[in-house]
Amino acid sequence: MSTVTATRSDASYLFSAPVIVAALGYFVDIYDLLLFGIVRLPSLAALGLSEADISVTGASILNWQMTGLLIGGILWGVLGDKKGRLSVLFGSIITYSLANIACGFVQDVTVYKLLRFVAGIGLAGELGAGITLVSEILPKHLRAIGTSLVAGIGLLGAVVAYFTVEFFDWRYAYFIGGGLGISLLLLRIGVFESGIFKDIKDQKHVEKGNFFALFNNKDRLSRYLKCIGIGLPTWFVIGILATFSNEFGKALGINEPIKPGLSIMWCYVGLSVGDLCSGFISHWLESRKKAVFYLMLFTLICSLVYLFAGIKSVSLFYTVATLLGFGIGYWAMFVTIGAEQFGTNLRATAATTVPNMVRGTVVGMTTLFAIFKGSFTVIQAGALVGVICFAIGIFCILTIPETHGRDLDFLEE
């Protein structure tokens, strides 16, 4: 009888309003985050740009969005620790939903850049605040599973975004994304704040949300940088192997052109499944570090197959892209580790900035990839970037403190 009660109790935690709303929020977040990449060609062509201009302008707009993510990560992270996790969940979704609706009316490239910048700021807050809230309200034995549910369901937003653009005009795709966000606000009305945060909210002597506190202590800085380092292989796969999959396909001698949008979609299908599994793997192994390390090694093996196995079939290429996505399915676990490493007064700041710092490293990866292509083949250039990312990632996960089962009711001094 007691087993049944415990099971029901666990299920009621995992399917509580905060977990469901955080998952749906991340679903809309991913939809909107990837939408510009999917509609880049048709939207810029509709604004009258030539093929050459589309390439340059598209990269510029994407950089504006990524800059917004970096700035927004800091802003929302600090706000999450100063004002509460819910304030970020509400504020971020209002920001990016309105920006996306406005993108559906855009007629000018300059306005497009500004709107994607604003959208980037809004999109930066969703995942970190959601993972922080879920981590704090769930019992410690369910944290890994709960955060995996959030990310696993959320990442399916990439698949929905791809098919939305396949069936609707790009302007309607933006309207749909904005509308989904506004609808989600209604669901959030019944969500409650983290009890751990409420306990320190009115404690004036506790310094909350000081971003620079992550850098003024050697131990804290080490933990923070290692959290970022763990995430590098994830965006090597998305930002290099999937985004430039058309170039890798050509270099491998695959006859049929590889579509980057399709590669990204299949990668995110695998990522969604991997994220759902990573929480259960961590729960089973009773270790965050082992779960992430094994998935990182799997990703490394798949990357070697992708680059050096001589793939000639389109279907096999997309299959490997899906397996790569599964391997980087430790994304939710990596953000959870970021939340668990730090005290309540810095937790949202760390958990919100870490994934956005990793996203920001894509600019460095693509720059290195371009430089390496000047002296090496496309395959070799990709491999060199991968060596750097995996070397850093493996070192960081092996040396960061274990957080499985850690009590989160503590402060950073």
Q: Can you tell me the distance from the alpha carbon of 42 to that of 374, in angstroms, rounded to the nearest whole number?
A: 30
**Is 70 exceeded by the pLDDT of residue 283?**
yes
The average pLDDT across 13-35 equals: 85
Cα gap 143→342, rounded to integer Å: 15
- Which one of 51-60, 153-162, 284-293 scores highest in mean pLDDT? 284-293
The CB density around residue 83, as the number of other CB atoms within 10 Å, is 16
Write down the pLDDT at residue 1. Answer: 42
* 75-79, 287-291, 298-302: range with highest mean pLDDT: 298-302
Where in the chain is CATH 1.20.1250.20? 11-190, 214-413
CATH of 11-190, one of 1.10.238.10, 1.20.1250.20, 1.10.3720.10, 3.30.365.10: 1.20.1250.20
Are 317 and 311 within 8 A, CB to CB? Answer: yes
For position 129, what pLDDT does the model report? 80
What's the pLDDT band for 226 if we cut at 50, 70, 90? Answer: very high
**Residue-level pLDDT at 33:** 84
pLDDT digits 0-9 by tens, 118-142: 999 999 888 888 888 888 888 888 8
**Confidence band (pLDDT; 50, 70, 90) for 192?**
low
Tell me what pLDDT residue 199 has: 59
On the question of pLDDT at 25 being above 70, the answer is yes
What confidence score (pLDDT) does residue 2 get?
Answer: 43
Q: Average pLDDT of 86-110? A: 90
CB 204 within 8 A of CB 38: no
Residue 207 has a pLDDT of: 73
State both tokens at 229. Answer: 């380092």
Other CB atoms within 10 Å distance of the CB of residue 5: 9
> 214-413 maps to which CATH number?
1.20.1250.20
pLDDT for position 3: 46
Contact status, residue 154 vs residue 377, Cβ threshold 8 Å: no
pLDDT (0 to 100) of residue 292: 96
Q: Which tokens sit at 249? A: 């396909």
90 close to 185: Cβ distance less than 8 angstroms:
yes
CA distance between the termini of the chain:
44
More confident residue, 25 or 388: 388
Higher-pLDDT residue of 408 and 248 is 248
Per the rule left: phi > 0, alpha: psi between -120 and 50, beta: everything else, 139 is beta
User: What pLDDT is stored for residue 158 in this prediction?
Assistant: 84
Mean pLDDT in residue range 382-402: 97
263 and 276 Cβ atoms separated by less than 8 Å? no
Q: Copy the structure tokens of residue 288.
A: 């965050």
Averaged over 370-392, what is the pLDDT? 95
- Can you give the C-alpha Rg of the chain in angstroms? 21
Q: Return mean pLDDT, the chain.
A: 87
* Residue that wins the pLDDT comparison between 117 and 24: 117
Most confident of 161-165, 172-176, 242-246: 172-176
